[in-house]
Amino acid sequence: MNFLVDLLVLLYELIASFVLCLFRWIFPVQYKSVSGEVCLITGAGNGIGRLLAIEFAKRKARVAIWDIDEDGLKETCAMIQEIGREVYSDVCDLNKKDEIKAAADRVREAFGEVNILVNNAGVAFCKEILDLTDKEIETTYNVNVLAHVWTIREFLPSMLARNHGHLVNVASTVGLFSSPGMPDYCSSKHAAVGLHNSIFFDLQNAEKYGIKTTLICPYLIDTGMFNGVHVKYDWILPPISPKDCANTIMHAVLTEQEMVAIPRTMYFAHVLSTILPVKALIAGYKFVGADKAISYFKPNRDYQVKSYSKSVE
Ligand SMILES: NC(=O)C1=CN([C@@H]2O[C@H](COP(=O)(O)OP(=O)(O)OC[C@H]3O[C@@H](n4cnc5c(N)ncnc54)[C@H](OP(=O)(O)O)[C@@H]3O)[C@@H](O)[C@H]2O)C=CC1
Ligand SMILES: CC1=C(/C=C/C(C)=C/C=C/C(C)=C/C=O)C(C)(C)CCC1
């Protein structure tokens, strides 16, 4: 009997969710206001983090930014000040738990509790498992996953107490399906996806519906982080422009979407990667050049260049 009731409830929820999707498609959700909200963005000294910081500032959020790159932070601050908005910045090495905790205390003291946390910073070395050094592997997991854990543990308690806030985690399409040539990076992004989704369900169980979560899974973006990486027919799948990517992320956050893959064709790639027979998958990777894409990587970030010169020594 209980089973039948549960089944009916499930059917009702399934139909209602599809009807709601259709309704939302016809009548899109209004953007929420982030005016006056304290928004902390990690890795905002460059790339996507910088663009997001500017977008949040334009929408009158009180923007706080962290990065290891002091000059990059200064440039982002100048861009935000140029549009007449306040900004708080702090140099923080996300590789180090103690630095994260100290920086969290400082941001709370300067700006108050964080309402919107954007875990954006990431690193990639683009090397195969036996070519990576122990230090590089630790750095990848520290920055791409553990930093998310430490920041969430710092800022979630006050969000829970107020039942208000937004957790935004930037993962990657390679957190949904893997690409050869970067096992540490792919596994760190898979971990970031798992972390995000588990916390999402915990918030649902706790009925903390005032705390929103948004998972971002972009394909290759033209920020230079993956300099040189390309697939065989990149006219079919060109790298995403940083501006388009940041706009899509802002749209997802402001309409409180739970997850967004960028571009949308990546949902299809994700589904295919789970249902295709393995031989078909290998053939597909070869056809699009996904098998070699990472091998074209040319390090150009400070930490990448240093790591390469070290491995050549
Ligand atoms: N670019 C791409 O193709 C894709 C990127 N992503 C993800 O998007 C996010 C943003 O990427 P993108 O903007 O391209 O990357 P960028 O390298 O342009 O920016 C990342 C920023 O994070 C900073 N950072 C690196 N290590 C640390 C650290 N230990 N502590 C604090 N800050 C640090 C970098 O500083 P510095 O430059 O000095 O190292 C840089 O300012 C990342 O999580 C990335 O994994 C996802 C899919 C595709
Ligand atoms: C594997 C694979 C693809 C290639 C993916 C690549 C090359 C992704 C690179 C992503 C990066 C660099 C992400 C950074 O976070 C395609 C063409 C989508 C087709 C489906 C399978």
DSSP string, 219-235: --BTTSTTTT---TTTT
Q: What is the pLDDT of residues 123-152, one digit of tens each?
A: 999 999 999 999 999 999 999 999 999 999
User: Which residues, at least 6 apart from 126, have a Cβ–Cβ distance to it below 8 Å?
Assistant: 181, 182, 185, 226, 229, 294, 297, 299, 304
Over residues 65-79, the mean pLDDT reads 98
140 in contact with ligand 2, CB cutoff 6 A = no
Give Cα 186 to chain centroid, integer Å: 13
Mean pLDDT, residues 184-195:
98
Q: Is 223 in the pocket of ligand 2 (CB under 6 A)?
A: no
Residues with CB under 6 A from ligand 1: 43, 45-49, 67-69, 72, 92-95, 120-123, 143, 170, 172, 218, 220-221, 223, 225-226, 301-303
Residue 95: closest CA among 53, 123, 62: 123
Residue 85 has phi, psi (to 5 degrees) of -115, 155
Calculate how far, in angstroms, residue 143's C-alpha sits from the geometric centre of ligand 1.
9
ipTM > 0.95 for the complex: yes
Q: Is the pLDDT of residue 49 over 60?
A: yes
- Ligand 1 probe mutation, 178, 179, 225, most atoms within 8 A of CB: 225
Centroid of ligand 2 to alpha carbon of 239 (angstroms): 10
Give the DSSP letter of residue 240: B
pLDDT of res. 306: 84
Index of the ligand 1 atom closest to the CA of residue 142:
29
Pocket test for ligand 2, best of 188, 223, 288, 298 (most atoms within 8 A of CB): 288
Cβ(216) to ligand 2 under 6 A? Answer: no
For 229-243, write each residue's pLDDT tens digit: 999 988 889 999 999
What tokens appear for 2 in the block? 């209980």
Q: Which of 149, 160, 179, 164 has its CA nearest to residue 42?
A: 149
Spell out the alpha helix ranges (H) of the chain: 2-26, 47-58, 70-82, 97-111, 134-141, 147-162, 183-205, 242-254, 265-275, 278-288, 302-312
**Whether residue 227 has pLDDT greater than 70:** yes
CA-CA distance, 202 to 166, in Å (whole number)?
14
Known catalytic membership, residue 296: no
Q: Which atom of ligand 1 approaches the CA of 216 most closely?
A: 46
Domains in the chain, please, with CATH? 32-311 (3.40.50.720)
Indicate the SS3 state at residue 83. coil
pLDDT higher than 70, residue 312:
no
Q: How far is CA 120 from the centre of its chain?
A: 5
Residue minimizing CA distance to atom 11 of ligand 2:
220
